[in-house]
Amino acid sequence: MPDMIELRGFMGLFTLFKKRNWSNPYFFSLEKEVTGPELLGILDIPKKDVEIIFINGKAFLPFDAIICPGDRVALVPPGTPGPYRVLLGFIKKE
């Protein structure tokens, strides 16, 4: 499935996935490369609800993220507790 991305949501975003009857991971067709904000727009997820986008295991701020067909993507909301921030490899940038 080269045109699919494997999308996961954590914490409150996991709840959003459940409300939308999306599996976790949710396999989503993506025909071309998109930015983080473009992906959130396609998925109808408010930008304020996503602090970090993981792409193939690496953390990006949403406006720095470039998602390509075939990528593994995880969305992390604001408010992730401190120890998990360190373990996941990101610290909030002001």
What is the total count of domains within the chain?
Answer: 1
- What pLDDT does 88 receive? 62
Provide the 3-class DSSP secondary structure of residue 4: strand
User: Has residue 20 been placed in a domain?
Assistant: yes
The reply to whether 93 falls in a domain is no
How far apart are alpha carbons 1 and 16 in whole angstroms?
25
Q: What pLDDT is stored for residue 93 in this prediction?
A: 45
What DSSP string runs through 23-89?
A: -SSEEEE--S-EEHHHHHHHHT--GGG-SEEEETTEEE-GGG-EE-TT-EEEEE-TT--HHHHHHHT
Per-residue pLDDT tens for 50-92?
999 999 988 899 999 999 999 999 999 887 665 555 556 665 5
Q: What is the pLDDT of residues 25-50, one digit of tens each?
A: 999 899 899 999 999 999 999 999 99
- Read off the CATH number of the domain in which 30 is found: 3.10.20.30
User: Residue 77 domain-assigned?
Assistant: yes
pTM over 0.85: no
Could you list the residue range(s) of the whole structural domain that residue 77 is in?
4-88
Q: What is the mean pLDDT of the chain?
A: 86
43 contacts 62 by C-beta, under 8 angstroms: no
| pLDDT of 23 strictly over 70 | yes
- Report the alpha-carbon distance of residue 90 to residue 84 in Å, rounded: 9
